[in-house]
Amino acid sequence: MSQLIAKVLMASRAQHLDQLFDYMVPEDIVTSLQIGARVVVPFQGQLNLAYVWELTDHSDFSSLKSVRQLIDSPPLLTRTQYQLIDWLADYYFCSRADVIQLCLPPGAKQTRRDGFRLAASPESIREQLISAGFQEDISQKVYQLLTAATEAQWTRSKWQKEFQALGVIWEWLLRSKLLLPITEIAKPRISSKTIRVYRWNLPALDDRNPAGIRVKNVLLQHPQGMAGPELAAAAEVSAAVIKRLLNQGKIDCSLQKIERIPVGFTPVETDGTHKVQFNPEQQTVLDTFKSSSSRLFLLHGVTGSGKTEVYFEAAAEALRRGLQVLYLVPEIALTPQTLARARNRFGDQVALLHSNMSDGERYDQWFKVKNGQANFLLGARSAVFAPFTKLGLVIVDEEHETTYKQEETPRYHTRRVVEQLSEITGAKAIFGSATPELESFFAAQTGRYQYLELTRRYNDQSLPEVAVVDMREELRNGNRNILSRVLHQSIADNLANNEQVILLLNRRGYATFILCRDCGQVLKCPSCDVALIYHANDKVLRCHYCDYRQKMPDTCPKCHSSRIRYFGHGTQKLEEEMAQNFPQARLIRMDLDSTSKKGAHQEIYQKLVQGEFDILLGTQMIAKGLDLPRVTLVGVITADSSLNLPDFRAAERTFHLLTQVAGRAGRGTKPGRVIFQTYNPAHYALKYAQHHDYLGFYQEELAQRRELSFPPFTELFRFGFSSIRSVKVSAAAEEFCRILREQQAKIATARPHEESGLPQVIEILGPAPALIPKVQDRFRWQILVKAGEPAVLRELVQSTWSLFPFRKFPEVQIFRDRNPYAI
Ligand code: ADP
Ligand code: ZN
Ligand code: ZN
């Protein structure tokens, strides 16, 4: 019989360990060891945690070491997960370890602990020390140390330090192998939660004590067992009684696994009150979806057209066939409503995964998916890495949202990962939005996605009327207020009619900057190159990049003038002004500050659905997904606030946001109205949003992208550089760019023409300081590459990366960002 070899990947994020190492698989675990399992292997004189990546019967190396221990059987990672890991690491130029982190249940990261074992008794060691010529008092001290430590303490670093302090003796003990180094893999931090459950042992057994009789009666009524505290309460006995009965063998105790229930998982009544009746458009979309052999679909439907009902029907179909469904939403803010709808429809099949849950809750949900107990997973971005075993459908709701792009390593885009997941598993995927991202719409136009469309609102309610107010005009007419007169009047009318209002202001905090009237100094974060934002509720200045906080100073730190003033409006100030203007109105503010506490979203959401508000105001969070039928007015305080960002997607972002928020108005029986306030009324993003004209916007924007060679006509790539030393970061970026240009020239001569007619590497932009040149004390630079052809881009990135002298710049961090969003 040939020997089984495991090729393993070390559980380490070190770059040089991103390769497979060969180990022999011992006889006793040959049958239970599977790909994706974790093992302990000896590596460079230590024990390491590793993942089995391949199993083979051949190795190019001789004298292999053996796998020491198998940790999971069945394996922790699923087949799909590690295929995805391999692909993602390659596509996004990161290490597999970076991706594995996302695929594991919380707390699965097991750490190694190094320690020592005694090879002889403390007495014998003392004798040996003395006979080796060490002084008696020192040998005695060692003896005391050795006897004082328990076995467990050998692995503690404090204890090791005490020994290391002994210097020569320590060395001698190691050399003479009286102390043996050992490594342990620490227990996982999180595991399933269990409680003790009690049962009456035999109905024939009796107790003469009245308390014991009560316990018996209660337990006989609960044959499935009861937890200690409940039993004590129901039988009105103390813990001591339970303990006595247990000792006498009259009751039995066993451990039972319980599920930690996330917020929002209140029991639901699936009473089926909501009758689904598809309109002809929905029916056509569903028929096309079901009969089509395509895997990737774009569902383009105006807000309120019934996309969610279509998703649910497609999901129900997959569940009926015994397949799993992944339903992705861009932000937790959306989850309460979608969660409630999903739980109503699919009951206990629904699992939930997002970062605002406790580790224990996530752990339980993760295993419910893995074990196939929950087949409908609702989650944010990272849920795409959940351990599916029979995935049939992925839904990406509001697919145009930027939160689908992860802005730290691995810098993946969820849509791209879903495409790959579909490729691996054969699952169908629906990307849905009222305003598809331009690149997705382009994919549908060019046939990469199959296009599905819903053109009308489900209730046939027309889309709301949008008015644009020129705020320069308001100023000229002497109105310095944050509200234009027409918006002010409309709010008042709405309140009088007992109808609800949504106000969007895409800036949190109170004032957006603090300026000295005398010297013009703007108060900035000491670690980041950005203005500090005043937060009124805790009366502090805060940095929105690093969360630095300081008290509002009384005088200017530069010229000591007391004429320092707040400027700009944030949501807190808007809230204050609304309270002054409309004192009788019930206000709810929704932004990162008001929703960051665990469960806060859920609380706000409860108030929203129960209609306990008159004005809901907040950042872009409120623009998405909320389905509140009594909202008939939407006001956008500054519609052009995101237009001036130096980002080629700025117009698109603005168009999406305005269209989405406008779609919140008039979802019930009464028609809605929308008011955009702006200083830039002529901008095309605003005009198309005003007329709900997606296609018009798409065409104009696409023409610009073509003109400027931006995606989807090219692929964009970003190299980011950061360091606490400003000179180092610019030097590294410049050196990098020099090599990049050299390689570009080389590639261009090697492959002069391609069929596409596009030059292979169109442009290298930079190096230049990033938009915010300093964040958390780190200076940041970047280089952008626009490439016509992915293969050429890959060659360029890889050759430059392999030639760059990283050793010359030890304090500079460099990352690679494929298809970057934050430019
Ligand atoms: P979207 O996701 O496109 O914004 P929704 O699916 O939330 O739209 O639908 C808007 C409203 O219309 C919701 O209240 C929904 O319950 C209702 N609705 C949509 N389609 C149907 C249907 N086929 N039968 C009954 N109600 C529907
Ligand atoms: Zn000043
Ligand atoms: Zn800061």
CA distance 785 to 764: 5
The model's confidence at residue 695, banded by pLDDT at 50, 70 and 90, is very high
**Band of residue 135 on the pLDDT scale cut at 50, 70, 90:** confident
| Per-residue model confidence (pLDDT) at position 752 | 58
Euclidean distance between CA atoms 580 and 116, whole angstroms:
69
Average pLDDT, the chain: 85
Least confident of 195-209, 658-672, 699-713, 736-750: 195-209
* Token pair belonging to 263: 């917020």
**Pocket of ligand 1 contains residue 652 by CB under 6 Å:** no
How far is residue 284's CA from residue 451's CA, in Å, rounded to a whole number? 12
Q: Quickly count: other Cβ atoms within 10 Å of residue 505's Cβ.
A: 26
Smallest CA-to-CA distance from 53 within 19, 7, 98 is with 7
272: its two tokens: 């089926």
The arithmetic mean of pLDDT across residues 200-207, rounded, is 79
For tokens 């950042």, what's the residue? 619
Place of tokens 């039995």: 252
Query: How far is Cα 362 from Cα 106, in angstroms, rounded to an integer?
Result: 7
Category of 225 on φ-ψ map: left (φ > 0), alpha (ψ -120 to 50) or beta: left
pLDDT given at position 486: 93
Q: Tell me the Cα Rg of the chain.
A: 32
Tokens of 39: 């093992």
Identify the pLDDT of residue 149. Answer: 65
Q: Is 301 in the pocket of ligand 1 (CB under 6 A)?
A: yes
Residue 767: is the preceding peptide bond cis (ω within 30°)? yes
Distance from C-alpha of 526 to C-alpha of 530, rounded to nearest angstrom: 9
Residue 338 in contact with ligand 1 by CB distance below 6 A = no
Work out the burial of residue 293: count CB atoms within 10 Å of its CB; fewer than 13 is exposed, 13-18 middle, 19 or more buried.
Answer: exposed
Written in H, E and C, the secondary structure of 242-256 is HHHHHHCCCEEEEEE
Ligand 1 pocket mutation pick from 279, 281, 286, 309 by most atoms within 8 angstroms of CB: 309
Find out whether the beta carbon of 277 lies less than 6 Å from any atom of ligand 1: yes
The predicted structure's pLDDT at residue 333: 59
SS3 174: helix
Looking at all shown ligands, the one closest to residue 564's CA atom is 2
Q: How many A from CA of 2 to the centre of ligand 2?
A: 80
| Distance between Cα 47 and ligand 3 center (Å) | 40
What does the pLDDT read at residue 453?
A: 96
Q: Is the pLDDT of residue 113 over 70?
A: no
Return d(Cα 498, Cα 753) in angstroms, integer. 67
Bridge partner residues of 383 (DSSP): none
**What gap in Å lies between CA 205 and CA 245, rounded to an integer?**
11
Ligand 2 ion: Cβ-proximal residues, 5 Å cutoff: 516, 518-519, 521, 556, 558-559, 561
Per-residue tokens: 278? 């598809």
Please write the tens of the pLDDT for every residue from 326-346.
999 987 655 677 888 888 889
Q: Which residues contact 50 (CB under 8 A, 6 or more apart)?
A: 8, 9, 10, 11, 21, 38, 39, 40, 41, 43
**pLDDT value of position 545:** 75
Distance CA 809, CA 732 (A): 7
**Ligand nearest to the backbone CA of 628:** 1
Kindly report the number of other CB atoms within 10 A of residue 506's CB atom: 22
CA distance 386 to 379: 10
The DSSP output letter for 26 is P
Amino acid letter for position 487 = L
Q: Which of 15-29, 484-498, 761-775 has the largest mean confidence?
A: 484-498
Q: 767: Cβ below 6 Å to ligand 1?
A: no
Single out the residue of 666, 665, 504, 667 nearest to residue 589, CA to CA: 504
**Best of 308, 344, 457 to mutate for ligand 1, by most ligand atoms within 8 A of CB?**
308
Is the CB of 453 inside a 6 Å radius of any atom of ligand 1? no
769, 505, 803: which is closest to 636 by C-alpha?
Answer: 505
What pLDDT, in 10s, does the model give residues 205-263?
A: 788 888 888 888 888 888 878 888 888 888 888 888 888 888 888 888 887 777 767 76
CA 561 / ligand 3 centre spacing (Å): 24
DSSP tag of 523: P
Mutate-to-test residue for ligand 1 from 300, 458, 661, highest number of ligand atoms within 8 A of CB: 458
Query: Ligand 1 centre from 331 Cα, in Å?
Result: 20
pLDDT at 186: 65
Query: Does residue 526 have a cis bond before it (omega within 30 degrees)?
Result: no
Instruction: For residues 548-552, give the mean pLDDT.
Output: 85
Rounded to the nearest angstrom, the distance between the alpha carbon of 736 and the centre of ligand 3 is 27
Q: Which of 627, 659, 694 to mutate to test the pocket of ligand 1 (most atoms within 8 A of CB)?
A: 627
Q: Using 50, 70 and 90 to split pLDDT, how confident is the model at 391?
A: very high
Cα angle at 104 between 103 and 106, to 5 degrees?
A: 130
Among 269-278, 675-684, 761-770, which stretch is predicted with the lowest mean pLDDT?
Answer: 269-278
Which protein residue has the closest C-alpha to ligand 1 atom 23?
Answer: 278
Element (H, E) at 51: strand 46-56
The pLDDT of 289-304, averaged and rounded, is 94
Distance from residue 120's CA to the centre of ligand 1 (Å): 75
511: number of CA atoms within 13 Å, CB side? 16
How do residues 493-528 score in pLDDT, each as one tens digit? 999 999 999 999 888 877 777 788 888 777 888 877
Q: Work out the angle between the directed axes of helices 694-707 and 650-662 (0-180°, nearest 10).
A: 170
Q: What is the separation of C-alpha 227 from the centre of its chain, rounded to a whole number of angstroms?
A: 36
pLDDT for residue 471 is more than 90: no
Asked whether 145 and 163 are in contact (CB, 8 A), the reply is yes
User: Is residue 401 within 8 Å of residue 330, measured between CB atoms?
Assistant: yes
What's the mean pLDDT in 193-213?
81
Q: How many CA atoms lie within 13 A of 248 on its CB side?
A: 15
* Mean per-residue pLDDT, 605-617: 86
Which tens digit of pLDDT belongs to each residue from 5-51? 999 999 887 778 888 999 999 988 888 899 888 898 988 877 888 99
Q: Does the beta carbon of 677 sit less than 6 angstroms from any atom of ligand 1?
A: no
Question: What is the residue type of 704?
Answer: Q
Can you list the alpha helix ranges (DSSP code H) found in 176-323?
A: 210-221, 228-235, 239-247, 280-291, 307-320
Q: Kindly state if the Cβ of 458 falls inside 6 Å of ligand 1.
A: yes
pLDDT score of 183: 63
Distance between CA atoms of 724 and 206, rounded to whole angstroms? 75
Contact call for residues 766 and 822 (beta carbons, < 8 A): no
Q: In angstroms, rounded to a whole number, what is the distance separating the alpha carbons of residues 120 and 106?
A: 40
pLDDT of residue 219: 86
Q: How far is the CA of 528 from the centre of ligand 3 (A)?
A: 4
> How far, in Å, from the CA of 557 to the mean position of ligand 2?
7
Q: ∠494-498-501 over CA atoms, to 5°?
A: 45
Which residues lie closer than 8 Å to 331 by C-beta, 6 or more apart?
A: 380, 401, 403, 621, 624
| Ligand 1 atom at shortest distance from the alpha carbon of 305 | 3
pLDDT of residue 52: 93
The CA 328 to ligand 2 mean position distance, Å, reads 49
Cβ-contact 793, 823 below 8 angstroms: no
Q: State in Å: Cα 458 to ligand 3 middle.
A: 46
Cβ–Cβ under 8 Å, residues 301 and 434: yes
Of all protein residues, whose CA lies closest to atom 10 belonging to ligand 1? 304
User: If pLDDT is split at 50, 70 and 90, which confidence band does 156 have?
Assistant: low
For residues 665 and 304, give the distance between their C-alpha atoms in angstroms, rounded to a whole number: 10
- Which backbone phi and psi does 210 adopt, to 5 degrees? -55, -40
- Rounded Cα distance, 229 and 36, in Å: 40
Q: What is the pLDDT of residue 426?
A: 95
Q: If you average pLDDT over residues 755-781, what whole number do you get? A: 77
Nearest CA owner, ligand 1 atom 19: 306
Alpha-carbon distance of 360 to 133, in angstroms, equals: 55
**What would the two tokens of residue 569 be?**
């409006």
Residue 188 banded pLDDT, cuts 50, 70, 90:
low
Position with higher pLDDT, 426 vs 141: 426
| Protein residue whose Cα sits closest to atom 24 of ligand 1 | 276
Q: 309 CA to middle of ligand 1, Å?
A: 6
Taking a C-beta distance cutoff of 8 angstroms, is the pair 379, 386 a contact? Answer: yes
Write down the pLDDT at residue 566. 78
Of 320, 286, 324, 291, residue with least CA distance to 426: 324
Is residue 269 predicted with pLDDT exceeding 60?
A: no
> 60-91: string of b/e by CB count within 10 Å (b at 16+)?
eeeeeeebbebbbeebbbbebbbbbbebbbeb
Q: Which ligand is nearest to the CA of 526?
A: 3
Of the candidates 91, 21, 19, the one whose C-alpha atom is nearest the C-alpha of residue 56 is 21
Please tell me the least confidently modeled range out of 222-226, 309-313, 450-454. 222-226
158 falls in which pLDDT band (50, 70, 90)? Answer: low
Can you give the pLDDT at residue 67? Answer: 92
Encode pLDDT of 648-683 as tens digits. Answer: 888 999 999 999 888 888 888 888 899 999 888 888
If you average pLDDT over residues 779-787, what whole number do you get? 90
Whether 625 shows a pLDDT value over 80: the answer reads no
Stretch 309-322: mean pLDDT: 95
**Which residue lies with its CA nearest to atom 15 of ligand 1?**
306
Highest mean pLDDT among 103-107, 598-602, 703-707: 703-707
Establish whether residue 625 lines the binding site of ligand 1, counting it when its CB lies within 6 angstroms of any ligand atom.
no
Share of the chain above pLDDT 70, in %: 91
Ligand 1 neighbour 115 (Cβ under 6 A): no
CB 376, CB 311: distance < 8 Å:
no
**Residue of higher predicted confidence among 316 and 519:** 316
Q: Measured between alpha carbons, how far is 643 from 345 in angstroms, rounded to an integer?
A: 40
**Does ligand 1 lie within 6 Å of residue 305's CB atom?**
yes
358-386 pLDDT, tens digit each: 888 888 899 999 999 999 999 999 999 99
Cα–Cα distance list, 489 to 470, 475, 549, 635, 676 (Å):
16, 17, 38, 12, 14
- In this predicted structure, the answer to whether residue 114 has a pLDDT above a threshold of 70 is no
Q: Is the pLDDT of residue 152 over 60?
A: no
Q: How far apart are the C-alpha atoms of 695 and 385, rounded to whole Å? A: 34
Q: What pLDDT shows up at residue 490?
A: 93
User: Amino acid letter at 236?
Assistant: E
Angstrom CA distances, 432 to 298, 302, 311, 700, 744, stand at 6, 10, 9, 22, 38
Q: Are 557 and 523 in contact (CB under 8 A)?
A: yes
From the CA of 316, how far away is ligand 1's center (Å)?
A: 16
Q: Which residue has the higher pLDDT, 309 or 44?
A: 309
Rounded CA separation 246/229 (Å): 15
Q: Ligand 1 in contact with 307 (CB < 6 A)?
A: yes
